[in-house]
Amino acid sequence: MKTCSALTILLGISVAAAAARGADTKPADDGFVPMFDGKTLKGWQTTGNWVVEDDGSVTLKPRPGEKGWQRYDAYLTTDRKYKDFVLDLEFKIEKTGNSGVFLRVGDPKDQVKTGFEIQILDTHGLEKPGNHDCGGVIGTAAPSKNMARPAGEWNRYVITCEGNRLKVVFNGEQIHDLDLSKSAVKDRPAEGYIGFQDEAKRVWYRNVKIKELK
């Protein structure tokens, strides 16, 4: 009886563990799917620099000799394209940090010119943020309000791309509701890759999930 009970317990643990692993890639009740498994960069492509931390967050570690605020080629980019979706993620940066979330990128090797970017930048406390400050759509629109937290603290973006409409909620405040067809990025693809920028400054992403809209 003791042996049977032990086997039953072990079997139950194994089944639970397998279920937990399977949940990593299955939609939750709200329709969101995690974009990272917490251990690897499966589903993403990069030329280097990005690693998974012990807590499951994904971080950029610049290569020796690389200097911050210069664009390098190690963007972290999805393997596949997305069209209409809600992207929910958290990020934090170091002091003077700089990165960006690229959307609907046509060419992963030229994300700046073939996609558009929601800026990530250390601009906490700035009174009137512009389109190049944190929360801005680069070259297109400034955030309606500066919601950036101090460097080292986690922030959250909820980004909705549906047709020509772009909405961005930053730390609980809606900062954008744009008609992309009437913006400076109106010529960008309606479907493309999602990418995180390499500016050789430490940045961390976690709880990255996506819900595709039908």
End-to-end CA distance of the chain: 53
CA–CA dist 168, 143 (Å, integer): 9
Cα–Cα distance for residue pair 168/160, rounded to 1 Å = 6
Give domain 29-212's CATH number out of 2.60.40.1110, 3.30.70.1050, 3.40.50.11540, 2.60.120.560. Answer: 2.60.120.560
Tokens of 85: 């979706």
17 torsion bin: left (phi>0), alpha (psi -120 to 50), beta (else): alpha
pTM score: 0.87
Q: At 18, which amino acid appears?
A: A
Q: Are 75 and 198 in contact (CB under 8 A)?
A: yes
* Residue-level length of the chain: 214
Render pLDDT for 26-49 as a digit per residue (tens, 0 to 9). 677 899 999 999 999 999 999 989
The ranges assigned to domains in the chain are: 29-212
30 close to 207: Cβ distance less than 8 angstroms:
no
- pLDDT of the residue at 137: 98
Q: At a CB cut-off of 8 Å and minimum separation 6, what does 1 contact? A: none
pLDDT tens, the chain, 214 aa long: 444 444 343 434 343 343 333 335 567 789 999 999 999 999 999 998 999 999 999 999 999 999 998 989 999 999 999 999 999 999 999 999 999 999 999 999 999 999 999 999 999 999 999 999 999 999 999 999 999 999 999 999 999 999 999 999 999 999 999 999 999 999 999 999 999 999 999 999 999 999 999 8
Looking up tokens 């690693």 gives 51
Q: What is the pLDDT of residue 26?
A: 65
pLDDT at 18: 37
Strand ranges (DSSP E) for 41-154?
44-45, 50-52, 58-60, 76-78, 85-93, 98-105, 116-121
Assess contact for 75 and 102: CB atoms under 8 A: yes
- In whole angstroms, give the CA distance from residue 29 to residue 131: 35
